[in-house]
Amino acid sequence: MTIFGESTGGVSISYLTYTPAAQDYFHQSIGQSGSAQAMFTGISNKSIEISQIMAKKANCPTGNSEVMTKCLQQIQATELQKIDITIPETGQFLNWIVRVDGELYKETELKDLKNGKPAIIGNVEYEYSPNVANIANASEKFDQALNDLQLFVGKSAIEKEVLKQAIRYAYIDSQGDRTNKTFEAQQIAKMYTGYFASKAALEATRKADAGRSVWVYHYNYYTKNVFPATYPFRKGAPHATEVCYLFLMEIPDSWRQFITWCPLNYDGQQRKVADYLGEMWTNFAIKGNPSPKNLDWPNFHNVSNANTMFMGSELYIEPTYFLESANFWNYLKPSIEQSFQARRKF
């Protein structure tokens, strides 16, 4: 049994790989563009409080846990999903958060399982790209991009400003013409991708350190002008684009204005991409090793020896792809935060 998912599904798959009670129900996992290590996911010990908030909005009684639970169980899942609810202390959406219930999750910290199941973890060229059209039209929208990633929860005003300037310098000011809005939009999209990639690297590192077999990938195949005309830039592989090719998806006309990156008709090159994706995912499910024909895909070891499979019009291995983004998001940013924590002690 191979479990896999993309985006929110990737986060869910990631959580299952950390869940002891789930280990007997699958053999390997594939997490596409989603990780439980991301800052907008997490674990909360406020499960009762959160359930009561949802129950109130669903018009269920909250005085007795058993009565409240039975009331919620009578409501269709599709109706519960419509309830707009956030976790009070962070403002995060409920559906991103795992709750400590004392049974499935007993701790507020993710701990990798020794000798756990093999895993594939990866990302695409422009993660979170649907938001770029809205955030990149003006320089001040950069703040919104950072807020989307939940980077400033619990931070002081000074910490927020220092972190913002460090991230902006790394992704925009040091890279080119900051007055070029197309360039800035691309860099904000790359910032999202760098963040996602760093968390994929962090998860892969922890799994490898725990004795798991791990493979990592970066998907960057796209066709001409895949983004809508309203986007600041038109080319690149957006969030979820590999799903189109994995399933040879045909998007209905009514959705075409929102999802423009799935081909109308798959040509020879596009079918070649679909074939190698299907081959690798199938190889992994059947053999436990995703290597395609005529190309060995080595295991991930660490960010300096990641052996990342680049998936474009051709396949090739890039050993150090994760290194730069992982160093920034997993080491430099935390070191800035730690310096502020040290200052508070004096």
Residue-wise pLDDT tens digits, 59-118: 999 988 889 989 999 998 888 878 876 655 544 544 556 766 677 777 767 777 776 899
Q: Which helix (H) or strand (E) holds 54?
A: helix 47-57
Stretch among 154-163, 226-235, 301-310 having the lowest mean pLDDT: 226-235
Residue-wise pLDDT tens digits, 107-155: 767 777 776 899 999 999 888 655 555 544 545 567 767 776 666 666 7
Neighbouring C-beta atoms of residue 20, cutoff 10 Å: 12
> Which pLDDT score is estimated for 281?
97
Task: Work out the average pLDDT over 307-316.
Answer: 95
- Fold for the domain defined by 126-344: Rossmann fold (3.40.50)
> Which pLDDT score is estimated for 40?
63
Residue-wise pLDDT tens digits, 190-217: 887 888 888 889 899 999 998 899 999 9
| Whole-angstrom distance, CA of residue 110 vs CA of residue 113 | 10
> Which pLDDT score is estimated for 341?
58
Sequence-ordered strand ranges (E) for 189-318: 214-219, 308-311, 315-318
| Whole-angstrom distance, CA of residue 185 vs CA of residue 87 | 30
Residue-wise pLDDT tens digits, 11-58: 899 989 988 888 899 999 999 998 888 766 666 666 677 778 889 999
Give burial (CB, 10 Å; 0-12/13-18/19+) of 296: exposed
| Domain assignments of the chain as residue spans, ordered by start | 126-344
> Which pLDDT score is estimated for 307?
95
pTM recorded for the entire structure: 0.82
| Whole-angstrom distance, CA of residue 330 vs CA of residue 195 | 9
| Whole-angstrom distance, CA of residue 295 vs CA of residue 308 | 13
Looking at per-residue pLDDT, the higher value among 301 and 43 belongs to 301
Q: Give the DSSP letter of residue 113.
A: P
> Which pLDDT score is estimated for 273?
95
Residue-wise pLDDT tens digits, 250-290: 877 777 776 777 888 899 999 999 999 999 999 999 999 99
Cβ atoms of residues 154 and 160 within 8 Å: no
Task: Work out the average pLDDT over 308-325.
Answer: 91
